[in-house]
Amino acid sequence: MADDKSQGRTLKEQFWDPVAGFGVTFRTMFKKVVTEQYPFEKLPTAPRFHGRHQLNRWPDGLEKCIGCELCAWACPADAIYVEGASNTDDERYSPGERYGRVYQINYLRCILCGLCIEACPTRALTMTNEYELADSSRAELIYEKSDLLAPLLPGMEQPPHPMRLGDDEGAYYRGEFMAQNSDQAPEEVQS
Ligand code: SF4
Ligand code: SF4
């Protein structure tokens, strides 16, 4: 069979084609290496890369999330679970009436599409550039509110506490203090 096949091929095809194949190998050997040495060397992502979510805070540390569930309704993968609750004068987590008592994102389902952050009316929910989300347990990939909340920056206070930026809830949402205080972590993605 092999002889029959080679009889049908020209002399050029029998001798030159295998050498030509090695030609590609030799040419590639002298080109710049494009292999990335991840995880030893990590390249920065694009600034608007959609990575792990973050629940943001106001400059006094109160939470921006009002537990409205719009993000959960917008999610095409049913990856978000929210339970809202009422603030009281003694126990306040966000300006206004409501806050997110339970907030979970299931990263086994999430496709990092960003529809949830578009739906959020208070910009409580944004996405960071963090992409290392693999884990060895399915349970660990359901992130709780405590995993998603932005860290306390200087000047912020862990809720519950009263509104430190004034009694006017609208002043928070109008961002009247934004010129002096930035509440956005450096990695926050602008939607
Ligand atoms: S990024 Fe997309 S899939 Fe993930 S939680 Fe948000 S809406 Fe759902
Ligand atoms: S993250 Fe935004 S959309 Fe989701 S419950 Fe909180 S305030 Fe509503």
CB distance 155 to 181 below 8 Å: yes
For the chain, domain boundaries: 53-164
Distance between CA atoms of residues 89 and 162, nearest Å: 7
Segment 107-130, tens digit of pLDDT:
999 999 999 999 999 999 999 999
What percent of the chain stands above pLDDT 70?
Answer: 88
pLDDT, position 2 = 47
Closest C-alpha to ligand 1, atom 4: 110
Closest C-alpha to ligand 1, atom 6: 116
Residue range 53-164, CATH number? 3.30.70.3270
User: Ligand 2 pocket, 119 CB below 6 A?
Assistant: yes
Segment 22-51, tens digit of pLDDT:
888 888 889 998 888 999 999 999 999 999
pTM: 0.80
**Per-residue confidence band for 20, with pLDDT thresholds at 50, 70 and 90:** confident
Segment 62-113, tens digit of pLDDT:
999 999 999 999 999 999 999 999 999 899 999 989 999 999 999 999 999 9
- In the chain, the N- to C-terminal Cα span, in Å, equals 64
pLDDT, position 167 = 85
Cα 119 from chain centre: 15
Cα(8) to centroid(ligand 1), Å = 58
Largest Cα separation within the chain, whole Å, is 93
User: Ligand 2 pocket, 71 CB below 6 A?
Assistant: yes
Looking from the CA of residue 115, the nearest atom of ligand 1 is 7
Answer yes or no: is 71 a known binding residue: yes
Closest C-alpha to ligand 2, atom 6: 65
